[in-house]
Amino acid sequence: MTVAPTKFETLRLEGVSRDFGTFNALKNLDLTIRRGEFVALLGPSGCGKTTALNCIAGLLDVTGGRIMLDDARIDTLRPEERGFGMVFQNYALFPHMNVRRNVGFGLKMRGVPKPEIDRRVDEVLATVRLTSQADKLPGQLSGGQQQRVAIARAIVIAPPLVLMDEPLSNLDAKLRLEMRGEIRRIHQSLGSTTIYVTHDQEEALSLADRIVVIREGVIRQVGTPAELFGAPAHLDVADFMGFRNRVPGRVIGRDGDFVTLDVGDGARLVGKPRDGVDDGAAAIAMARPDDLVPIDAATGIPAEIETIEYRGREYHGLARTAAGLEVFFSSPTALARGAKIRLGADPDRVLVYPEEPR
């Protein structure tokens, strides 16, 4: 019997920890998710995001803290008592059951009368656009269709919360793009609450209302896609959000909202300082490859092109400075391997962080 309510206002993780022996996979996570939100847990492999999802689902016990659904503590409940929908990475469909029976399986296990099962299955198959595939076996479907069956099975029970664990990782690039749109459409049409685990920043940016960046079992930043894309709070978050260029230097000037860094060889970079950047101190300038481009100014970063490749409307390359620093850049025109260039970026596109402690 399901104990969790079909509607709620907030899901709260309060100091949630999970240990595996002496390894701390999650460390005092505090997070509030509001009803109707689409929240992405984002981070590299092994950061703890799937562990957090499994603790919410009840597939793993917490070893510290608690999980609250409004005023009810749920981390002490069995998974089936929480009543959440779960979409796994590998679909986990029954190969001997057709689509209709796969989708209705959870309702059957709950003792729902057959006429009601039929009605709800018909409704959800229409929602995921699989009505015409209802009598097929999973093996007769494409990867994207199988994933939609898995989503239908999760949402047919009308769960208060849908949990998705890297559901698109087994699909090719084209299908991933298509399914991203489908998942967002289904979320919006149902008005459901979704927690979505991914290591793909583009997925998180395109799907989520808020993104939770996790690293080594710790929440590093929570914010909207625009906040995470444009203003990562920490150096490691910036690196994970696509700021691949990491240029060390020293702050030599400040003008309003910008600081100037001496980055060696007479080169300068101007950017927006984050918290903790002091005048005269060592700092790190971060820029995306799309934003670092060849310039004519003598203050640009001197480097020699090692590789260059065409990517449709522009060229992307890897260059190396005399000090051995790799820099990733883009160019509107073709450049020759071995060419010497100077690179710079719009100050609005450069973020400056305090140097990390050694």
Domain presence at residue 120: yes
Domain presence at residue 225: yes
Domain presence at residue 95: yes
- In a shared domain, residues 228 and 248: no
Domain presence at residue 1: no
- In a shared domain, residues 207 and 346: no
Residue 357 has a pLDDT of 63
For residue 282, the cross-strand partners are 250
Residue 170 has a pLDDT of 79
- In a shared domain, residues 97 and 218: yes
Q: Structural domain tally of the chain?
A: 2
Neighbours of 7 (CB within 10 A): 11
CATH code (residue 159) = 3.40.50.300
- In a shared domain, residues 198 and 128: yes
pTM of the complete model: 0.88
**Sign of the CA dihedral with 65 first, then 70, 71, and 77 last:** negative
Domain presence at residue 2: no
Residue with tokens 């029976």: 101
**Alpha-carbon gap, residue 10 to 33, rounded angstroms:** 6
Question: In whole numbers, what is the pLDDT of the chain averaged over residues?
Answer: 92
Contact 287, 327 (CB under 8 A): no
- What interhelical angle do 143-155 and 99-109 show, nearest 10? 20
Q: Residue 215 burial (CB < 10 Å; 0-12/13-18/19+)?
A: buried
Choose one of 209, 236, 263: the last residue of a domain: 236
The residue-averaged pLDDT of 144-166 equals 89
For 349, the domain range is: 243-354
**Alpha-carbon gap, residue 301 to 267, rounded angstroms:** 5
Residue 65 pLDDT level (bands cut at 50, 70, 90): very high
